[in-house]
Structure 1
Amino acid sequence: MKQLNEVADLFFSAGIPMPGVQVSQDEALRLVRERYPYCEYCLVADWRWIDLDVTTTKAQLAELTRTNRKPAVIYAASVIYDSQRRWDVGDFVRTSYLYKFEEGFIFQTLNTIYILIGDGVRKKASLETLGRIF
């Protein structure tokens, strides 16, 4: 039951409000193409920034440090557009680990630029809890 409560908390309890970018889909496309003309990208809404507790898994933390990534992912309940067509409009997505965060709405992994449209929330979760939702 504890595991179910942790997952429910991640999805349904309040988090720290985080602003995303407040633009139309067309404007978001223009922004990403202008700034990252050769990168794959995904526009998302209804998103949660999840900080992962990796303090108990030293090997995982060492690997993230070695690859210049940070223990954070985005879970978005709504894909608006994916340039690689991995997900359809309306699908959910969970990113890989954060590589770089810019301008308060550009979440970059090693493979993809995610544009965070609209406001979201920030939460903290264990790797085990995150693994239970996918």
Structure 2
Amino acid sequence: MSELQEITDLLYGEGVPMPGSKVTEEEALRIVRERFRYPDYCIVRDWIWIDLDVSADQLDALRKTRRQPVIVYAHTVIYDSNRRWDVGDFVRTSPLHAFHDGFMFQTLHTIYILLGDGVRKRAAIETVGRIF
């Protein structure tokens, strides 16, 4: 399969449905501010949970840094507390550190609030690396 086709399938192809939060944007803000005092946060929609295919060495390196071989790609940024992304931008996270309450995806530096339903897919780490 071509590199372009792999990226297209990852971003727009079928996936396994995965529930996100049903709360409003305002409720999501309240929840993240109450639960996490200082981290940056980003509210997103139209998201893809991506399980990464990694080698044993890559998995070991992730575990040593308290991360897991999972990232989220979101087609739509709703709000970013640190203004790194504008409303409507896409975002690709760094690897998962912790997952809270079925809709808060935490990396080492940011909490991503997954609004609405998303999909779950599997991809090679090289394919994900080609998404800017």
Q: What is the TM-score of this pair, normalised by structure 2? A: 0.96
Which residue number in structure 1 is paired with residue 19 of structure 2? 19
Which residue number in structure 2 is paired with residue 75 of structure 1? 73
Residues in 2 aligned to 1:22 and 1:78: alpha-carbon distance in whole angstroms: 16
Residues 34-81 of structure 1: CA distance to partner in whole angstroms, max 9, x if unpaired? Answer: 111221111000100000000xx3332221011111000000011111
SS of equivalent residue, structure 2 residue 58: helix
Which residue number in structure 2 is paired with residue 31 of structure 1? 31
Residues in 2 aligned to 1:58 and 1:71: alpha-carbon distance in whole angstroms: 11
Which residue number in structure 1 is paired with residue 89 of structure 2? 91
Runs of 4+ residues deviating >4 angstroms: none
Q: Which runs of 5+ in 1 are unaligned?
A: none
Identity value in percent: 62
The match for 1:112 among 102, 110, 113 is 110
Q: CA deviation at 1:28?
A: 0.8
Residues 71-125 of structure 1: CA distance to partner in whole angstroms, max 9, x if unpaired? Answer: 0000001111111110111111000000001111010000001100000000000
What is the one-letter code of the residue matched to 2:102?
G
Residues in 2 aligned to 1:4 and 1:85: alpha-carbon distance in whole angstroms: 30
